[in-house]
């Protein structure tokens, strides 16, 4: 599953960068994040409740940030597993100045396995997109706050 | 196919159901006919802590004409809609749509309220209620409110229902003479859901001009939508099959986020939306002209 | 001593049906034993991974849990999952019942939970935490062969399971002499059998008696018994296997599964009865799949349509491990690749390859639907290339009836046939010439009708033991009770085929009784003699012949007893109307029951005769049988949507003599519908990570009643010389003959768009794309010309 898109955030990219690299604030933005814990530099253990409407599952896993080029770009690697299967994804995230705003471009690949892969095919991509949108919307509202 | 443990309630009245819903909040799911929620629970894709089975609230199971509209209780099954003489005579689009839902077993259990509240992007009814400009009545502890179909569907599996609200009734218009309706559908071969479902309603005015037209499309996008560009191309015009086909080409607006899955790519879906919108319009048009269909 | 045919050949309603349609039949899942415990499996969500660790601690302490076991816990407790097939230089791919170090397909069991009820078992299974290290999955069989592809079984250097070759005739000369060589790559996609009843196993061990009883939804109770004993390392005599009502198999229950041996082991290990009922999702992931072959076929032809030679390379995707017959199935495709044509030279090369998927194995037809599809599509390609009618190309290349027994270049001896006749009947019954005229007319109106032919031969009555991995004979015991009622104990294991009825028909005729006087018993290893089982369209031709021969022994003995009592020559006696009487003087008679009674009372027996009335026969066939037929499909393609609708289906099948035409029709109908599934709808789709995307019936489309028009069936009858009943077998004919007829019809419908071939399933979007592409390049449908041409050629 290829995921690609962009989102405009209401702050300069240095501010955005800081937020995305601060575990507490990041946690507040991750949809369904119940727990986040730094276990190394740029390496977090997370517990997420992910899903869509009636369909949801608990996942535990890790988020790693790498190839950091502040405040321009980084790579994010997410791994999680839960009763409904597993999720793995890696994306390159770029921050581009746009006046007072920042355009975040992401492009990556995610794979889903287990139950959700074998029965949720038709809604998976859309659900993933919605979760990402939710994430950025949360970031935006954090920035506004 | 064994669900996770859950607490089960079977209220006998709407009031009791609302009380339970308030008490359990987001941990509760409403169960009506069980054809959306139960498969998810059996697979454990959904594991609500509490299930409130409203299927026994018989007061929510009716089809009646009141104040120039037809009111359909949320727990009315697809079979009851399909077989209703009242709907067949005065609002045939709903029975035409119900006929295309699932199979006999599904139609005997599944309910109109359950289907609409679940808001599956490939469900059939959403296209029809949009084309009918139906009203959707929801109840909560604070009373009831009425939503237009167009504002009811928010996103994939997401509606305008707020926490603590229960969909109780769908109201559809009594269609005027010289109105034709049709629902045309491309079935997903395994599940029977709509890859594309097009519901059309078309009223001819004096002189044979299109007085009113509404087209609802399901299966194409994360939520069902009105094909307003198609409607605009036809309203107020005297039309032939050629114009219907021309108009149908606008069935998929530029900004629609197209669905794509194993059974149909977004490209194919888009093309089929045009084909089935046209077919539904053709049928509705000939029906409106009084031709047998 | 004559046998009057009163029941054989008649459309008797099935004796099985009243209990089935009233819900009175008993399946394995209906069993409830005291203290029964339930098994749930923890299965891999990864297609290819190393197991780093398994933490069962939370599951162990969950409510109701009796035991949680992993592959390590089973060490040395049992052997590997058996594979009966053995090909030269075949690599072994032995699968432990629970994965130990690595998992090789999604759905492979890695741990199991035993609990007091199935909810507790399922809940606890979710608490087992498995840490995986994902490895790169190998999904595409062609890429699996590439240099540098990850290797599934690390003891080997590549993913090739075996290479198998077959050559007959002068293949070089054939291709050198050819006017044209027709070549096509064709995919026979992976299918999921989807028996209505999933697999279910119950096991109960009684330590005092040292008796292990296993109820399994299986097609092969005796082979399962032997294999359970072998895998568990216990004496075979302690194992008792029962296959009660079985809700469909289609080959998917012709196997020995990990879950069967594990549940048996658990009953012994934990001392409680165990039950496991497969979910539909497990059934999709971990019950065998079928087909999955990619063929490149070449035909060397002369300008007049005569075929001189055939070359075929087949890549068979075997999945991750072997199940019982996995490696063997593609070789059946190789053997049958020449179809019903006289092809002087043939060469087949098969490569079996490992991928990170469930194993493929015998699925209704098992290798022959693939062969038939490849050759029948190729024949249509020859017709298209030479601009001749497909019926004409077929007729030109049939061996003549007097050429039978006919030896193929692949080394088979076809027993008997009249291919010309079945094609003639099919063309006449379908109104072929008229259909072609209708097609031409429809094309002028912008409608796309397609007419597809298939003339097939298949290989049945599996088979002589020399050609089978575990014996090809079948057994029967006929036991007549003192009251004159007859028990037929068959080693075959019917699960929907209707032999409780057809075997009773044979017995009724041989003994002059009514079918209700006869009980057919099967599926219980403690009751029936050792048998091979029901698969490969063998139950009637092999099992029925065993029944027939055992019955003749009984009849001979009864004739001797009756002759002794009546003071007549036994061979002058006839058995009819529950009497044994003198042919020339029916008044001189003895009631059947009286003769039976004499065998038991044993006072009036001929001197030296053994008392009692029981006979057993193990029938070893001298050859396979080769049923054949001709099918005609008529479809219409909607050029706007790509939807295909089947308008008519005519099937003319020749399965030799017919014992019950109703059963034969039922088999043909079911087979055709299953074929329709493969041709138009079904496909097991794994994504590039080896996830099975068609994981449930919501995404794996099987045919529905509304997809099927009234099926028009007819028969020609060419008795088989291989057995005294003259029967051939018909259990798989529909799935073998119909698929190419359906696809040929679709391709024929799309001919005006320049379509030459289309891989299955003929999905709407694929067809829509082809039409769109054709329209884009501006090749307007040349309807009139195409139609007219067909018209003149039609017969």
Q: What is the pLDDT of residues C585-618, one digit of tens each?
A: 999 999 999 999 999 999 999 999 999 999 999 9
One-letter-per-residue 3-state SS of C502-521 = HHHHHHHHHHCCCHHHEEEE
What b/e readout covers C222-240, taking b as 16+ CB neighbours within 10 angstroms? Answer: bbbbbbbbbbbebeeebbb
Of A83, A113, A118, the CB nearest to C46: A113
> What is the distance in angstroms between the Cα of A10 and the nearest Cα belonging to chain C?
38
Of B43, B122, B156, the CB nearest to A52: B156
CA distance C715 to C657: 10
- Give pLDDT tens digits for C352-397: 999 999 999 999 999 999 999 999 999 999 999 999 999 999 999 9
Predicted confidence at residue B293, as pLDDT, reads: 46
One-letter-per-residue 3-state SS of C453-473 = EEEEECCECCCCHHHCCCCCC
Residues of C in contact with B265 (CB under 8 A): 765
Q: Which of residues 28-87 of A touch C (CB under 8 A)?
A: 81, 83, 85-86
Inter-chain CB proximity A54 and B121 less than 8 Å? no
Q: Where are the alpha helices (DSSP H) in B55-120?
A: 78-83, 85-90, 93-98, 104-109, 112-118
Inter-chain CB proximity C123 and B4 less than 8 Å? yes
Task: Determine the average pLDDT of the residues in C275-298.
Answer: 98
Residue C594: CB atoms within 10 Å: 17
Half-sphere exposure of C277 (CA within 13 A, CB side): 18
CA distance C300 to C177: 8
Q: Which pTM was predicted?
A: 0.95
| Mean residue pLDDT across chain A | 89
SS3 C399: coil
The pLDDT of residue C790 is above 70: no
Question: Across the B/C interface, how many CB contacts are shorter than 8 Å?
Answer: 48
Inter-chain CB proximity B5 and C119 less than 8 Å? yes
Length of chain A: 145
Residue pair C178/C370 in contact (Cβ under 8 Å)? The answer is no
Nearest CA in chain A to B29: A54
The helix/strand count (H/E) of chain C reads as: 20, 28
Please name every residue paired with A80 in a beta bridge, in sequence order, or none if there are none: A61, A87
Inter-chain CB proximity A113 and C698 less than 8 Å? no
Chain C CB within 8 Å of residue A121 CB:
yes
Of B40, B44, B157, the CB nearest to A83: B44
Using the 8-state DSSP alphabet, how is residue B261 labeled?
B
CA angle C443, C449, C453 (to 5 degrees): 130
Q: Which of residues 121-140 of B touch A (CB under 8 A)?
A: 121-122
> What is the distance in angstroms between the Cα of C521 and the nearest Cα belonging to chain B?
33
Which residue is it, tokens 């014992």? Answer: C659
Residues of C in contact with B280 (CB under 8 A): none
Nearest CA in chain B to C681: B189
The pLDDT of residue C535 is above 70: yes
**Which among C117, C97, C99 is positioned nearest to C40, based on CA atoms?**
C117
> What is the distance in angstroms between the Cα of A53 and the nearest Cα belonging to chain B?
6
**Which among C615, C600, C612 is positioned nearest to C529, based on CA atoms?**
C615
CA distance C449 to C755: 14
- Give pLDDT tens digits for C729-750: 999 999 999 999 999 999 999 9
Residues of C in contact with B39 (CB under 8 A): 698
Residues of C in contact with A81 (CB under 8 A): 45
Inter-chain CB proximity A119 and C699 less than 8 Å? yes
Residue pair B159/B123 in contact (Cβ under 8 Å)? The answer is no
Residues of C in contact with B43 (CB under 8 A): 281, 696
Residue C700, sorted as left (phi over 0), alpha (psi -120 to 50) or beta, turns out to be beta
Interface of A with B (CB under 8 A): 52-57, 83-84, 115-116, 119-123, 125-127, 130
| DSSP-assigned letters across all residues of C719-766 | --SSSTT-B---TTHHHHHHHHHHHHHHHHHTGGGT----PSS--HHH
Confidence of residue C3 (pLDDT cuts 50, 70, 90): low
CA distance A11 to A17: 10
The pLDDT of residue C788 is above 60: no
| Mean residue pLDDT across chain C | 95
Of B2, B5, B190, the CB nearest to C699: B190
Chain C CB within 8 Å of residue A4 CB:
no
Residue pair B187/B122 in contact (Cβ under 8 Å)? The answer is no
For chain A, which chains pass the contact test of at least 3 CB pairs under 8 Å?
B, C
> What is the distance in angstroms between the Cα of C121 and the nearest Cα belonging to chain B?
10
Residues of A in contact with C136 (CB under 8 A): none
Please name every residue paired with B184 in a beta bridge, in sequence order, or none if there are none: B198
Residue B68, sorted as left (phi over 0), alpha (psi -120 to 50) or beta, turns out to be left
Residues of C in contact with B186 (CB under 8 A): 641, 643, 764
SS3 B276: helix
Predicted confidence at residue C794, as pLDDT, reads: 37
Half-sphere exposure of C725 (CA within 13 A, CB side): 36
> How large is the greatest C-alpha to C-alpha distance in chain B, in angstroms?
63
Inter-chain CB proximity C695 and A88 less than 8 Å? no
Using the 8-state DSSP alphabet, how is residue B227 labeled?
-
CA distance C400 to C397: 9
Of C46, C126, C281, the CB nearest to A118: C281
SS3 C393: helix
Predicted confidence at residue A24, as pLDDT, reads: 85
Mutate: best of A113, A115, A116, partner C, most C CBs <10 A: A113
Q: Which of residues 509-568 of C touch B (CB under 8 A)?
A: none
The pLDDT of residue C792 is above 60: no
How much of chain C, in percent, has pLDDT values that exceed 90? 95
Inter-chain CB proximity B259 and A121 less than 8 Å? no
Predicted confidence at residue C779, as pLDDT, reads: 52
Tens digits of pLDDT across chain B (293 residues): 699 999 999 999 999 999 999 999 989 999 999 999 999 999 888 899 999 999 999 999 999 999 999 999 999 999 999 999 999 999 999 999 999 999 999 999 999 999 999 999 999 999 999 999 999 999 999 999 999 999 999 999 999 999 999 999 999 999 999 999 999 999 999 999 999 999 999 999 988 999 999 999 999 999 999 999 999 999 999 999 999 999 999 999 999 999 999 999 999 999 999 999 999 999 999 999 987 54
> What is the distance in angstroms between the Cα of A120 and the nearest Cα belonging to chain C?
8
Residues of B in contact with A118 (CB under 8 A): none
Residues of C in contact with B275 (CB under 8 A): 640-641
Predicted confidence at residue C325, as pLDDT, reads: 96
Q: Tokens representing C153? A: 């079984």
CA angle A38, A41, A47 (to 5 degrees): 30
CA distance B181 to C4: 65
Confidence of residue C787 (pLDDT cuts 50, 70, 90): very low
Residue C581: CB atoms within 10 Å: 22
Which residue is it, tokens 């790169």? Answer: C136
Of C696, C702, C765, the CB nearest to B268: C765
Residue pair A91/A70 in contact (Cβ under 8 Å)? The answer is no
Predicted confidence at residue C780, as pLDDT, reads: 54
Residues of C in contact with B263 (CB under 8 A): 699, 765
Confidence of residue A48 (pLDDT cuts 50, 70, 90): confident
Residues of C in contact with A121 (CB under 8 A): 693, 699
Residues of C in contact with A86 (CB under 8 A): 45-46
| DSSP-assigned letters across all residues of C124-163 | HHTT-EEEEEE------HHHHTSTTPPPSSTTSSSSEEEE
Residues of A in contact with B44 (CB under 8 A): 83-84, 115
Nearest CA in chain B to C705: B103
Nearest CA in chain B to C278: B1
Inter-chain CB proximity B262 and A115 less than 8 Å? no
**In what helix (H) or strand (E) does residue C10 lie, and over which residues does it extend?**
none
Predicted confidence at residue C785, as pLDDT, reads: 41
Nearest CA in chain B to A57: B45
Residue pair C460/C626 in contact (Cβ under 8 Å)? The answer is yes
Inter-chain CB proximity B190 and C768 less than 8 Å? no
Residue pair B110/B99 in contact (Cβ under 8 Å)? The answer is no
Confidence of residue C1 (pLDDT cuts 50, 70, 90): very low
Q: Which residues contact C497 (CB under 8 A, 6 or more apart)?
A: C534, C539, C663, C667, C731
Chain B CB within 8 Å of residue C696 CB:
yes
Residues of A in contact with B262 (CB under 8 A): 121-122
Inter-chain CB proximity A112 and C693 less than 8 Å? no
The pLDDT of residue C786 is above 70: no
Q: Tokens representing B171? A: 């109201």
Q: Which residues contact C660 (CB under 8 A, 6 or more apart)?
A: C8, C9, C10, C11, C12, C498, C501, C502, C505
For chain B, which chains pass the contact test of at least 3 CB pairs under 8 Å?
A, C
Confidence of residue C108 (pLDDT cuts 50, 70, 90): very high
- Give pLDDT tens digits for C539-550: 999 999 999 999
Residue A98: CB atoms within 10 Å: 12
Inter-chain CB proximity A118 and C698 less than 8 Å? no
Residues of C in contact with B191 (CB under 8 A): 697-699
Q: What share of chain B is helix, strand, coil (3-state, %, to 5)?
A: 35, 30, 35
Predicted confidence at residue A41, as pLDDT, reads: 86
Residue pair B118/B46 in contact (Cβ under 8 Å)? The answer is no
Instruction: Give me the interface pTM, i.e. the ipTM.
Output: 0.95
């Amino acid at each position: 599953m290829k995921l690609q898109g962009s989102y405009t955030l209401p702050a300069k990219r240095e501010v955005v960068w800081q937020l995305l690299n601060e575990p507490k604030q990041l946690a507040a933005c991750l949809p369904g994040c119940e727990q986040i814990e730094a276990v190394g530099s740029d390496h977090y253990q997370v517990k997420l409740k992910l899903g869509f409407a009636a369909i949801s599952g608990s996942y535990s896993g890790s988020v790693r940030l790498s190839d950091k080029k502040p405040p321009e770009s980084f790579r994010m690697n997410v791994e999680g597993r839960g009763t409904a299967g597993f999720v793995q994804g890696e994306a390159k995230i770029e921050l581009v100045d746009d006046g007072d705003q920042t355009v975040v471009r992401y492009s990556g690949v995610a794979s889903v396995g287990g139950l959700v892969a074998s029965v949720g095919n038709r809604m998976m991509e859309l659900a993933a997109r919605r979760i990402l949108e939710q994430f950025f919307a949360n970031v935006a509202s954090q920035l506004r706050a | 196919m064994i669900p996770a443990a859950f607490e089960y309630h079977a209220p006998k009245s709407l009031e009791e159901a609302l009380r339970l819903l308030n008490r359990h909040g987001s941990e509760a799911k409403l169960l009506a006919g069980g054809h959306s929620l139960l498969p998810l629970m059996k697979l454990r894709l959904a594991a609500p802590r509490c299930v409130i089975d409203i299927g026994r609230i018989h007061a929510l199971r009716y089809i009646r004409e009141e104040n120039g509209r037809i009111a359909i209780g949320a727990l009315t099954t697809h079979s009851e809609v399909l077989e209703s003489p009242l709907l067949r005579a005065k609002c045939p689009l709903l029975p035409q749509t119900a006929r295309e839902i699932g199979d006999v077993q599904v139609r005997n259990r599944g309910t109109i309220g359950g289907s609409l509240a679940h808001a599956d992007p490939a469900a059939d009814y959403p296209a029809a209620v949009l084309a009918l400009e139906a009203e959707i009545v929801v109840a909560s502890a604070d009373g009831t409110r009425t939503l237009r179909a167009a504002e009811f569907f928010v996103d994939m599996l997401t509606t305008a229902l707020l926490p603590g609200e229960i969909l109780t009734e769908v109201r559809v218009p009594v269609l005027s003479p010289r109105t034709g309706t049709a629902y045309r559908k491309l079935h997903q071969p395994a599940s029977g859901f709509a890859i594309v479902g097009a519901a059309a309603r078309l009223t001819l005015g004096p002189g044979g001009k299109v007085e009113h037209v509404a087209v609802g499309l399901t299966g194409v996008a994360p939520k069902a939508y009105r094909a307003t560009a198609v409607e605009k191309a036809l309203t107020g015009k005297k039309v032939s099959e050629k114009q219907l086909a021309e108009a149908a080409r606008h069935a998929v607006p530029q900004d629609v986020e197209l669905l794509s899955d194993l059974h149909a790519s977004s490209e194919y879906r888009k093309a089929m939306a045009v084909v089935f919108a046209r077919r539904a319009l053709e049928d509705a048009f000939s029906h409106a002209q009084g031709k047998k269909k | 001593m004559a046998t009057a045919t009163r029941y054989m050949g008649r459309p008797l309603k099935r004796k099985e049906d009243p209990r089935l349609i009233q819900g009175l039949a008993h399946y394995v899942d209906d069993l409830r034993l005291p203290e029964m415990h339930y098994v749930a499996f923890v299965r891999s969500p990864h297609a290819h991974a190393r197991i780093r660790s398994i933490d069962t601690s939370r599951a162990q302490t969950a409510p109701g849990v009796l035991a949680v076991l992993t592959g390590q816990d089973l060490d040395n407790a049992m052997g590997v999952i058996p594979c009966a097939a053995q090909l030269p230089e075949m690599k072994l791919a032995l699968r432990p019942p629970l994965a130990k170090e690595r998992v090789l397909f999604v759905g492979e069991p890695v741990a199991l939970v035993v609990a007091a009820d199935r909810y507790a078992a399922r809940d606890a299974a979710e608490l087992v935490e498995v840490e995986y290290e994902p490895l790169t999955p190998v999904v595409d069989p062609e890429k699996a062969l590439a240099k540098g592809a990850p290797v599934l079984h690390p003891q080997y250097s590549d993913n090739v399971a075996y290479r198998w070759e077959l050559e007959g005739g002068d293949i070089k000369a054939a291709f050198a002499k050819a006017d044209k060589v027709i070549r096509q790559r064709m995919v026979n996609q992976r299918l999921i059998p989807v028996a209505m009843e999933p697999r279910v196993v119950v096991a109960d061990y009684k330590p005092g008696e040292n008796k292990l009883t296993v109820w399994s939804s299986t097609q092969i109770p005796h082979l399962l018994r032997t294999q359970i004993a072998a895998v568990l390392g216990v004496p075979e005599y302690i194992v008792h296997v029962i296959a009660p009502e079985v809700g469909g198999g289609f080959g998917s229950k012709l196997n020995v599964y990990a879950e069967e041996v594990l549940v048996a082991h658990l009953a012994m290990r934990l001392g409680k009865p165990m039950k496991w009922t497969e979910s539909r999702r497990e059934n999709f992931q971990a019950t065998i799949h079928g087909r999955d072959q990619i063929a490149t076929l070449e035909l060397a032809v002369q300008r007049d349509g005569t075929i001189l030679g055939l070359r075929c390379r087949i890549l068979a995707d075997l999945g991750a491990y072997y199940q019982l017959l996995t490696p063997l199935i593609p070789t059946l495709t190789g053997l049958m690749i020449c179809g019903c044509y006289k092809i002087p030279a043939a060469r087949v090369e098969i490569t079996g390859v490992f991928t990170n998927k469930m194993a493929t194995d015998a699925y209704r037809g098992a290798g022959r639907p693939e062969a038939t599809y490849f050759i029948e599509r190729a024949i249509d390609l020859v017709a298209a290339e030479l601009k001749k009618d497909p019926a004409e190309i077929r007729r030109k290349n049939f061996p003549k009836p007097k050429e039978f027994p006919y030896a193929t270049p692949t080394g088979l001896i076809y027993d008997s046939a009249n291919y010309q006749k079945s094609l003639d009947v099919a063309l006449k019954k379908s109104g072929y010439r008229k259909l072609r005229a209708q097609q031409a007319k429809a094309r002028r109106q912008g409608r796309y009708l397609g007419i597809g032919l298939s003339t097939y031969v298949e290989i049945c009555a599996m088979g002589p033991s020399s050609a089978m991995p575990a014996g090809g004979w079948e057994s029967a015991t006929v036991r007549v009770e003192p009251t004159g009622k007859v028990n037929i104990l068959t080693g075959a294991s019917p699960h929907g085929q209707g032999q409780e009825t057809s075997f009773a028909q044979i017995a009724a005729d041989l003994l002059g009784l009514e079918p209700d006087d006869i009980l057919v018993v099967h599926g219980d290893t403690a009751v029936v003699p050792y048998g091979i089982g029901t698969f490969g369209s063998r139950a009637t031709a092999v099992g029925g012949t065993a029944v027939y021969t055992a019955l003749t022994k009984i009849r001979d003995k009864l004739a001797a007893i009756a002759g002794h009592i009546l003071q007549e020559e036994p061979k002058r006696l006839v058995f009819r109307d529950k009497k044994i009487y003198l042919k020339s003087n029916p008044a001189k008679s003895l009631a059947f029951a009286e003769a039976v009674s004499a065998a038991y009372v044993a006072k009036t027996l001929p001197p030296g005769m053994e008392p009692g009335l029981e006979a057993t026969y193990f029938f070893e066939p001298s050859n396979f049988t080769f049923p054949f037929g001709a099918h005609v499909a008529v479809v219409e393609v909607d050029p706007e949507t790509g939807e295909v609708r089947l308008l008519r289906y005519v099937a003319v099948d020749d399965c030799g003599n017919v014992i019950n035409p109703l059963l034969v029709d039922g088999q043909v109908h079911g087979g055709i519908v299953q074929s329709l599934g493969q041709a138009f709808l079904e496909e097991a789709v794994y994504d590039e990570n080896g996830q099975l995307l068609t994981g449930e019936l919501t995404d794996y489309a099987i045919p529905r009643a509304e997809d099927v028009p009234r099926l028009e069936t007819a028969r020609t009858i060419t008795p088989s010389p291989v057995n005294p009943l003259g029967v051939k077998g018909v259990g798989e004919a529909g799935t073998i003959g119909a698929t190419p007829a359906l696809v040929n019809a679709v391709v024929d419908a799309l001919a005006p768009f320049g379509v030459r071939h289309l891989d299955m399933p003929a999905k709407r979007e694929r067809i829509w794309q082809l039409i769109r592409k054709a329209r884009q390049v501006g090749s307007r449908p040349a309807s009139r010309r195409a139609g007219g041409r067909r018209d003149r050629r039609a017969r």
